Copies of this chain bind each other. A is one copy, B any other.
Amino acid sequence: MNIREATSADWDQIWPIFQEVVSAGETYAYEPDTSKEQAEKIWMHAPRKTYVFEDNGQILGTYYLKTNQAGPGNHVCNCGYMVSSLARGKGLATLMCEHSQQVAIELSYKAIQFNFVASSNEGAVYLWNKLGFETVGRLPKAFKHPTQGYVDALVMYKWLDKA
């Protein structure tokens, strides 16, 4: 088991995870029918860093890290995590989130912000809370869930700087 930076050769293994998560439409603010090419731009090129969680050559999880706002906001980064349905409930999201906090500190970011956590995604909200992220915002009916309709989206935030 290993978390390492993604290379372009990893994309064929990352794409099924991206597609599975995004086509469900329950967690990420991407178009559910995002094409493989668009997804590669979104996940591999637009972020500052992309990582994979690998086990015996098989990619089971992935995350990106990017600067959340430019200029006066560029000390805060944003991350997104995806885990394959083959590997849910094994703590991969926790390991990747802890890894991303380390990377963020190394890159001199002072905080991580999640901009758009569907409040219906209770597992994620619980996990991010446990990992020290605070709910600092609630966007009324900002997320259209495929079965639950309009639900609130949460903004979650963790200050990393110990000083």
Please give the residue numbers on chain A whose beta carbons come within 8 Å of chain B beta carbons, in ascending order.
22, 25-26, 28-32, 34, 69-76, 110-111, 113, 115-116, 118, 136-146, 150, 153, 155, 157, 159
Contact = CB atoms under 8 A, between A and B. Distances in A.
Report how many copies the assembly holds.
2
B72 A29 contact: yes
A163 to B, nearest CB: 12
Most chain B CB within 10 A, of A70, A74, A75, A159, is at: A70
A91 to B, nearest CB: 26
10 A-B pairs with the lowest CB-CB distances in the bound complex, closest first: A137-B137, A29-B69, A29-B73, A72-B144, A31-B71, A137-B155, A30-B71, A72-B143, A29-B71, A76-B142
17 contacts: A25-B71, A26-B72, A28-B72, A29-B74, A32-B72, A69-B116, A72-B143, A72-B144, A72-B146, A73-B144, A75-B150, A76-B142, A111-B141, A113-B142, A137-B137, A140-B157, A142-B157
A120 to B, nearest CB: 10
Contacts of A28: 71-72
A30 B140 CA distance: 27
Contacts of A137: 136-139, 155
A49 B69 CA distance: 21
A41 B118 CA distance: 30
Contacts of A153: 73
Contact of A32 (B71, B136, B140, B155): B71
Nearest to A161: B141
